[in-house]
Amino acid sequence: MRFWSLVGVVTLLTAGETLAFKAHDFKTCSQSGFCRRGRALSARAKEAKSSWVSPYSVEPSSVSISANQAVFSAAVKSSLYPEINFGLEVRIHDDGVARVRMDEVGGLRKRYDEAASWALIAEPTISKDVKWTTGKKDTRAVYGQKKEIEVVVQHQPLRISLLRNGKEQIVLNGEGLLHMEHFRNKVEATTTEQPEPVEGEGAEGEESSEKAEEQVVLKAENPRAWFEGDTEDALFEETFSSWTDSKPKGPESLSIDIDFPNHGVVYGIPQHATRLALPSTTGKDPTFDDPYRLYNSDVFEYLASSPVSLYGSIPLMHAHSTESTVAVFHVVGSDTWIDVSHESDKSTQTHWISESGILDTFLLPGPTAEDVFKQYTRLTGTSVMPAHWSLGYHQCRWNYVSSEDVRTVQQRFDEEDMPVDVFWLDIEYAEDHKYFMWKDKNFPDPVEMTNDVAANVIVDPHLKRNDDYPAFKQASDLGILVKPPSGQGEYEGWCWPGSSSWTDFFNPASWDWWINIFKPNAVEGRWTWTKSTTDIHIWNDMNEPSVFNGPEISMPRDNIHYGGWEHRDVHNINGMLFSNLTYQAVAARTDPPQRPFVLTRAFYAGSQRFGAMWTGDNLGTWEHMAVGIKMVLANNLGGFSFAGSDVGGFFGNPEPEMLVRWYQVGAFAPFFRAHAHIDTKRREPFLLDEPYKGIVKNILRLRYTLLSVWYTAFRETSVTGMPILRPQFIMFPKDKAGFTIDDQYYIGSSGLLVKPVTEKGAIDAKVYLAEDQVYYDYLTNFAYRGSSKGKEITVPAALHQLPLFLRGGSILATRERPRRASSLMHHDPFTLKVALSQAGTARGELYLDDGVSYDHTKGYFIWREFSAAKSGKKGVRITSKDLGKTKPAEAVDGVSLASYDPSNKFVQSVADVRVEKVVVLGLAGKPSSVKVEGQNEELVWEYVPGVAASEKKDGNASVLVIKDPRVLVKDDWAIVIQ
């Protein structure tokens, strides 16, 4: 059965019928007017070759540099339309990022210019250290510590470039594809009659009639045809399938080429089901025919390899070479298509075509990936520090049908000793899909049940149009629903509940209303969600928004939002506002607030501040399993690390082998949740037969032993912006062979390297080691030796064997006691796994806090550094040091710590947590003594000889196990191995 047959809007398919991606539901570039125009522009430029010159240029006399040397501004003209004015502004931020903005000035209407205000956390500070100079041909800014960066605005034709040490890194309009379609009134091509004023704009008077005449005359001569083509293509109205887009504002698209000379690979612009290093869509040997598209969409049964848009959009693209990483952040909220071409392996050309919006593009100079992430997250914020429990395992299905059902499932997990932190209730918990309203018959005791089993629920953005439904009634009374194209009344479309309307979260009047609904205690005079608790967390789905009977399964683009903006202007941002407000609502239930968990399907740049995402409705196939890893990696590169895919695949009934592999994939994603479509067979892990059940139980347990590793990685990303999952190019930026590897990755700074197996019947796997370093098999302690030239090793990978390695030089803090939920682990002791490097050293970090409150922003946490260094001739000294004390100024969740007290409240609450075991891998020989420094007593230890870290060979590593060294996690100490 097709999934939305439940709402009765589409034909039913009978069981067994093949389901497939419905390509005809979504536009290709050639079916989208502005994309067609943009691509045609680029085709004409290609054909014209060197005779192609951009019509846009800076008016030299207008160039002005602000008094503090901070801002360049100038008037820009297009030779095609001398009467139209554009304004250009370039600002250099204090971290070296250059922001380029261009807008039409004094036009017939205003272009949407608010995308950045939703994406950015603050207005960036402008550098005081920039010197702009204007010459005959250009105006340039020089800056950087060694004055190594230059931003050059060439006047004619307009071309903006960012250079490092004289080498171009990013170039805007180098190919002359910049085109900001100015606002115009509709003119009938065959007459010279005065045009009808556009609705709502009033008469334009003489001036516009002059323009109209001019346009028609010019049309006859067609002097602009070399640039714009000789036919008007879908400027004022457009039809797709059975929908007509009225386009009252006419054409307003924005085309710009962004090239990365000297950078052969590009990554990012999630979300697409494709390789991490983005394959070409145009030019030489394109992999895809269509450009990558960013238009948040509910794509049924999406393909595992395709440039089509999916549920979220982050217009951030990284470009990488052995010399540097740079990025562009192109802040547009409208439908955007991006062509990528690699004419040589040394440079990349891209072409961005958006339906509306101003040019607002940030050039991130890097030059390292670390710098780029810092620069990007200074703009849009870092990933939120999650509630600790949310890093555990989430069990979900559409649907657990009753309180009894959920309780039974939870009980079965307990009986099997399988850890799980939370159960999710999908849409069927809600009466008639009216979110917040429990189906009383099935869920008679929602508060007790959610308390008993830690159940969380879905809340979608569509509101059933029914006056008995308080959420709808209130929103309707407040006038905060999205409006139809007329701008009057309420837009009505179809979703799960049938006839529905959508809250317009761009309307500030909706904010308090939404926040108040989630309060379990009644708010005077208002209906609120009293049948809930402050422990219920929320899943936001369908927020692209998905509209079953709308164009491209979404809202008509000419719908009207707050401020009179059309849906087309804000489409990609819309879903983020929903999860933003839900995040605020969940936090506001308690005073002081507790960390919310909000899962979202649609997202935009900045969504990382509000929770986690998942990759939507994947299929239970090996291809989807594999591409899911790449998608999660791409999301990490997009600054949104808290990501995962439905374990098991949403559609289909995976065979046990596939399900096991999928658990291995999921356990190594930041967000770990199993989910399944309503038509699938139950597949909770306890239902598996042996040996599958036992293997999955071990995977779940492995995830839980590593929770502190994940949590420490989250802390790092929340401070530095570095992604949690790190592909090869980030770890080894100079190793070309690693640039296209996207099926193995490192976890934070932990030194863990994982290569999930996504092939049926695999018994071994190939893993790429980019350095001359020892890598220890995490489960067997077998030592593999990499090579500085890059080396592929083959490792055992039968179903129970997951290729997981600890890089020599790392120290991992794990909690090895099997528990049923993360909440039971807070006082568990730690095991330290010290993986000695070839040089005999190692280092690692452990970050802990209460995991629920915001007290960590007050400095209530433990942050330790563990190090191992050589001591004496063959000895090793392992130390524990307080990092909170040494680095107090680092911001956590955006809050800088003025001071840090090593005996803070949290430290006291875990004062008794000890290190119960230290395992040292790769020692050169059997020690003669192991002691805590300053104490005479010999510790209890065992040594199994094996390969030393310094030896250039593979084999079982030597293992020293120190039992109960009697040291506490909160203390400074040293263990000396002689």
Both tokens assigned to 358: 């101003």
Query: Binding string, 195-214, against ligand NOJ, x = CB under 6 A?
Result: --------------------
Number of residues forming the site for ligand NOJ (CB under 6 A)? 10
- Residue closer to ligand NOJ by CB (options 649, 738) is 649
DSSP letters along 125-169, please? PBPSS-EEEE-SSEEEEEESTTS-EEEEEETTTTEEEEEETTEEE
Considering only 114, 228, 617, 849, the residue that binds ligand NOJ (CB under 6 A) is: 617
Q: Is the dihedral of CA 505, 506, 507, 512 positive or negative?
A: positive
Both tokens assigned to 628: 């899911």
- What one-letter code names the amino acid at 912? D
- Residue closer to ligand NOJ by CB (options 398, 469) is 398
Cα–Cα distance measured from residue 817 to residue 709, given in angstroms and rounded to the nearest whole number: 15
Query: Binding string, 590-609, against ligand NOJ, x = CB under 6 A?
Result: -----------x--------
- Residue closer to ligand NOJ by CB (options 138, 298) is 298
Cβ atoms within 10 Å, residue 147: 11
- Residue closer to ligand NOJ by CB (options 186, 394) is 394
Please give the backbone phi and psi of residue 429, each rounded to the nearest 5 degrees, phi first: -75, -20
Cα–Cα distance measured from residue 394 to residue 594, given in angstroms and rounded to the nearest whole number: 19
- What one-letter code names the amino acid at 443? F
CB of 466 to ligand NOJ, least distance (A): 19
CB of 147 to ligand NOJ, least distance (A): 51
Question: Residues, the chain, total?
Answer: 978
By CB under 6 A, residue 541 contacts ligand NOJ: yes
Q: What is the 3-state secondary structure (H, E, C) of 86-112?
A: EEEEEEEECCCCEEEEEEEECCCCCCC
- Residue closer to ligand NOJ by CB (options 172, 458) is 458
Write out the catalytic residue numbers: 541, 544, 617
By CB under 6 A, residue 39 contacts ligand NOJ: no
CB 318 within 8 A of CB 274: no
Name the packing angle between helices 567-587 and 509-517 (round to 10°): 40
Cα–Cα distance measured from residue 38 to residue 255, given in angstroms and rounded to the nearest whole number: 6
CB of 472 to ligand NOJ, least distance (A): 18
- Residue closer to ligand NOJ by CB (options 428, 569) is 428
As a whole number of Å, the end-to-end CA separation of the chain is: 68
| 279 CA to centre of own chain | 19
Considering only 150, 426, 544, 743, the residue that binds ligand NOJ (CB under 6 A) is: 426
Cβ atoms within 10 Å, residue 558: 19
CB of 391 to ligand NOJ, least distance (A): 20
- Residue closer to ligand NOJ by CB (options 630, 675) is 675
Cα–Cα distance measured from residue 814 to residue 203, given in angstroms and rounded to the nearest whole number: 71
CB of 628 to ligand NOJ, least distance (A): 14
Instruction: Return the CA Rg of the chain.
Output: 29
Query: Binding string, 661-680, against ligand NOJ, x = CB under 6 A?
Result: --------------x-----
Q: Which of 243, 265, 224, 235 is nearest to 82 (CA)?
A: 224
CB of 586 to ligand NOJ, least distance (A): 19
Considering only 250, 551, 606, 616, the residue that binds ligand NOJ (CB under 6 A) is: 616
CB 256 within 8 A of CB 173: yes
CB of 458 to ligand NOJ, least distance (A): 6
Q: How many CA atoms lie within 13 A of 851 on its CB side?
A: 20
Query: Binding string, 376-415, against ligand NOJ, x = CB under 6 A?
Result: ----------------------x-----------------
- Residue closer to ligand NOJ by CB (options 86, 578) is 578
Cβ atoms within 10 Å, residue 907: 22
Cα–Cα distance measured from residue 897 to residue 768, given in angstroms and rounded to the nearest whole number: 40
- Residue closer to ligand NOJ by CB (options 138, 541) is 541
CB of 688 to ligand NOJ, least distance (A): 22
Cα–Cα distance measured from residue 397 to residue 249, given in angstroms and rounded to the nearest whole number: 44
- Residues 235 to 254: which contact ligand NOJ by CB under 6 A? none
Query: Binding string, 625-664, against ligand NOJ, x = CB under 6 A?
Result: -------------------------x--------------
DSSP letters along 783-818, please? EEE--TT-EEEEEE--TT---EEEETTEEEEE--S-
- Residue closer to ligand NOJ by CB (options 602, 706) is 602
- Residues 440 to 469: which contact ligand NOJ by CB under 6 A? 458
Please give the backbone phi and psi of residue 484, each rounded to the nearest 5 degrees, phi first: -75, 175
- Residue closer to ligand NOJ by CB (options 396, 835) is 396
Q: Is the dihedral of CA 463, 466, 470, 473 positive or negative?
A: positive
CB of 302 to ligand NOJ, least distance (A): 11
Buried b (16+ CB within 10 A) or exposed e, 644-664: bbbbbbbbbbbebebbbbbbb
- Residue closer to ligand NOJ by CB (options 628, 875) is 628
By CB under 6 A, residue 431 contacts ligand NOJ: no
By CB under 6 A, residue 970 contacts ligand NOJ: no
Distances (CA, A) of 684 to 408, 413, 617, 674, 716: 12, 9, 18, 8, 33
DSSP letters along 951-964, please? SSS-EEBPEEEEEE
By CB under 6 A, residue 427 contacts ligand NOJ: yes
- Residues 307 to 326: which contact ligand NOJ by CB under 6 A? none
Residues 6+ apart with CB under 8 A from 904: 859, 860, 861
- Residue closer to ligand NOJ by CB (options 406, 976) is 406
CB of 602 to ligand NOJ, least distance (A): 10
Cα–Cα distance measured from residue 676 to residue 404, given in angstroms and rounded to the nearest whole number: 19
Cα–Cα distance measured from residue 480 to residue 469, given in angstroms and rounded to the nearest whole number: 15
Helix (H) or strand (E) holding 626: helix 622-637
Residues in contact with ligand NOJ by CB under 6 A are 398, 426-427, 458, 541, 601, 616-617, 650, 675
